[in-house]
Amino acid sequence: MTADPSSLPPIEVDVALDRLIATADVVAERPPVEASIRDDSILGAVLAAPILADRDHPPFDRATMDGYALRARDAKRPLIVAGSVAAGTPPPAEVADGACVAIATGAAVPPGLDAVVEHESTDRRDPLTIHLDQVASGRNIHPKSVDARAGDTLLAAGTRIDHIARGVAVAAGAAIGAGTILVRSRPRVSIVTTGDEVRPIDDPLDGPEDAVRIRNSNGSLLASLLTDRTTFGAILSPPTHAADDAQATAEALDAAAASADLVITVGGVSAGMLDLVPTHWENRGWSALIRGVRMQPGRPFSLWRSPDATTIAIGLPGNPVSAFACTQIFVRSWIRASLGLDPDPGWWRLPLVDPVRRNPGRPVFRPATIVMDASGRPVIRIPTWQGSGDLPHLAGTEGLARIDPGGDDQPAGSMVDFLPHHDFGRAAMGHKPTDASGAVVT
Ligand code: AMP
Ligand code: MG
């Protein structure tokens, strides 16, 4: 048994994040697994080894326009059209001086020819006349190997496979080679929702006692977030639900912990009479690492670790916006760390369009939208809310804005940290932002 968890004081968000991320090595240190680039489940996986080009890119001098391939120096005289080259067809080994060939976009330029003149700049006859004052060598040709040479790294280890990375991997030959690629192990997550008032999503709630019950919106919301492959990417067991009773809680949490690296509970973690989750982990000898964070919403956020340190449990508050915010701020970073990515999902800094009420003692995380100001610049608008139970106001928002603590309003025009709900751009790929010279911006 560990010390009474309620004796742990609430901590700052950054301290909580550090404490949480330090537990991700449970997954991050696991050996990589083989996966096939042909398999859709590859999306969201993180490369454990680089993907190298198996051939030059492009593999041949490629015509980039439909037209005629010729010697640039011949462009001033009428040219015999000595044949044609279609895409995917080998070009003639030789084209005589004073001749050209009709060529399609994507076809290989015959050896010795160094320019492609597009149809529109010719009379399309035979012999061919070109209506240009001059034709530069290399015109409309994408030369062999300019993009990459065989053996070059096309995707570095640590790249998260999104749709584009998958396409690049296929171009690099990842699908042939050994037939498989090495990716990092994904975290296995179980979700357990709690509460006697919380009913299955298909319950019509038309019974005599149903006026005071609600549907299990958190279970669905969190399950779809955690399986979003390019922002989270967990392997999720089917979510389960526990009634507010010690026996039901014990059965659900033990079952969840048996097959997961991370158990996420929703609700039952505050100071209420029927908040049975902390007591259960304590009874099992798990250590409480976090019991409360100085933030709004999300104050009850909690973290425990199993005695053998192979499993962790996160306790999310039950209020829907609290559960959502904690998932974005904490769970997302833990999953990134467990995949070997930079735990920081990539916060932006953007100006507020309207003043916002601060909390005197805690940072406030508010769902927010990006709108354009009169000059077309992106600014943050924070919709009014009825508190952390107000799930409907989350619809249509694009991220969470962090409002620093203070006694007055956070003024219009001041900059706030903003975390988009979905991974975006280079941050999503595990890269740090860089400036124009390519240096990492810290
Ligand atoms: P709790 O943390 O269990 O006290 O729950 C806080 C609030 O969130 C209560 O109003 C609950 O009814 C609500 N809540 C808890 N779990 C869920 C859920 N899975 N879906 C929707 N609301 C929930
Ligand atoms: Mg409850």
In the chain, the N- to C-terminal Cα span, in Å, equals 42
Which amino acid residue places its CA nearest to atom 11 of ligand 1?
318
Query: Is residue 132 assigned to a domain?
Result: yes
Centroid of ligand 1 to alpha carbon of 273 (angstroms): 14
Query: Is residue 216 assigned to a domain?
Result: yes
Q: What is the DSSP letter of 313?
A: E
Query: Is residue 42 assigned to a domain?
Result: yes
Task: Mark whether 307 and 267 lie in a shared domain.
Answer: yes
- Model confidence at 251: pLDDT above 80: yes
Which amino acid residue places its CA nearest to atom 23 of ligand 1?
318
Which helix (H) or strand (E) element contains residue 362?
A: none
Substitution site in 266, 274, 326, 391 for ligand 1 pocket (most atoms within 8 Å of beta carbon): 266
What Å distances lie between residue 177 and 40, 160, 169, 172, CA to CA? 19, 20, 11, 10
Task: Mark whether 135 and 169 lie in a shared domain.
Answer: no
**Beta strands, E only, 65-215:** 67-70, 80-85, 99-103, 115-118, 141-142, 153-155, 181-183, 188-194, 198-199, 214-215
101 in Cβ contact with 69 (< 8 Å): yes
pLDDT of 424 reads: 76
What is the value of pTM for the model shown? Answer: 0.89
Distance of alpha carbon 64 from alpha carbon 105, whole angstroms = 5
Ligand 1 atom at shortest distance from the alpha carbon of 319: 8
Among candidate residues 134, 159, 183, the one where a domain is terminated: 183
> Total domain count for the chain?
4
Centroid of ligand 2 to alpha carbon of 269 (angstroms): 8
Task: Give residue 88's domain range.
Answer: 62-142
Centroid of ligand 2 to alpha carbon of 284 (angstroms): 21
pLDDT, tens digit, for every residue of 129-141?
999 999 999 999 9
Region 315-330: mean pLDDT is: 97
CA angle 142, 145, 149 (to 5 degrees): 155
- Model confidence at 242: pLDDT above 70: yes
Distance of alpha carbon 303 from alpha carbon 11, whole angstroms = 12
Task: Mark whether 40 and 179 lie in a shared domain.
Answer: yes
Determine the length of the chain: 442
Task: Mark whether 228 and 254 lie in a shared domain.
Answer: yes
Task: Mark whether 179 and 190 lie in a shared domain.
Answer: no
Distance of alpha carbon 84 from alpha carbon 68, whole angstroms = 8
440 in Cβ contact with 434 (< 8 Å): yes
177 compared with 363, residue with greater pLDDT: 363
Residues with CB under 6 A from ligand 1: 193-195, 197-198, 214, 216-219, 266-270, 272, 317-320, 389
Query: Is residue 427 assigned to a domain?
Result: no
Environment class of residue 116 by beta-carbon count within 10 Å: exposed (0-12), middle (13-18) or buried (19+)?
A: buried
Query: Is residue 439 assigned to a domain?
Result: no
DSSP string, 2-64: -S-GGGSPPB-HHHHHHHHHGGGHHHHTSPPEEE-TTSGGGTT-BBSS-EE-SS-BSSS-EE-
The mean of the pLDDT values for the chain is 93
| CATH classification of the domain holding 381 | 2.40.340.10
Centroid of ligand 1 to alpha carbon of 421 (angstroms): 22
Centroid of ligand 1 to alpha carbon of 332 (angstroms): 21
Task: Mark whether 46 and 178 lie in a shared domain.
Answer: yes
Task: Mark whether 107 and 238 lie in a shared domain.
Answer: no
Region of 249 (left: φ > 0; alpha: ψ -120 to 50; beta: rest) is alpha
Ligand nearest to the CA of 196: 2
pLDDT, tens digit, for every residue of 338-374?
999 999 999 999 999 999 999 999 999 999 999 999 9
Task: Mark whether 255 and 201 lie in a shared domain.
Answer: yes
Centroid of ligand 1 to alpha carbon of 418 (angstroms): 26
| CATH classification of the domain holding 177 | 3.90.105.10
Q: If you count DSSP H runs as helices and E runs as strands, how many of each does the chain have, helices first?
A: 9, 26
Centroid of ligand 1 to alpha carbon of 318 (angstroms): 4
Among candidate residues 310, 338, 366, the one where a domain is terminated: 338
Distance of alpha carbon 42 from alpha carbon 352, whole angstroms = 38
Task: Mark whether 124 and 169 lie in a shared domain.
Answer: no
Task: Mark whether 375 and 410 lie in a shared domain.
Answer: yes
Half-sphere exposure in the Cβ direction for 299 (13 Å, CA):
10
Ligand 1 atom at shortest distance from the alpha carbon of 194: 16
Distance of alpha carbon 404 from alpha carbon 418, whole angstroms = 12
Query: Is residue 426 assigned to a domain?
Result: no
| CATH classification of the domain holding 94 | 2.170.190.11
- Model confidence at 336: pLDDT above 80: yes
Ligand nearest to the CA of 241: 1
pLDDT of 8 reads: 77
Substitution site in 213, 218, 222 for ligand 1 pocket (most atoms within 8 Å of beta carbon): 218
Q: Is the peptide bond before 10 cis (omega within 30 degrees of 0)?
A: no
Query: Is residue 430 assigned to a domain?
Result: no
pLDDT, tens digit, for every residue of 405-417?
999 999 999 999 9
Task: Mark whether 156 and 276 lie in a shared domain.
Answer: no
Ligand 1 atom at shortest distance from the alpha carbon of 193: 19
182 in Cβ contact with 335 (< 8 Å): no
Query: Is residue 243 assigned to a domain?
Result: yes
Among candidate residues 338, 369, 400, the one where a domain is terminated: 338
Task: Mark whether 241 and 171 lie in a shared domain.
Answer: no
Ligand 1 atom at shortest distance from the alpha carbon of 241: 19
Q: What is the DSSP letter of 126?
A: S
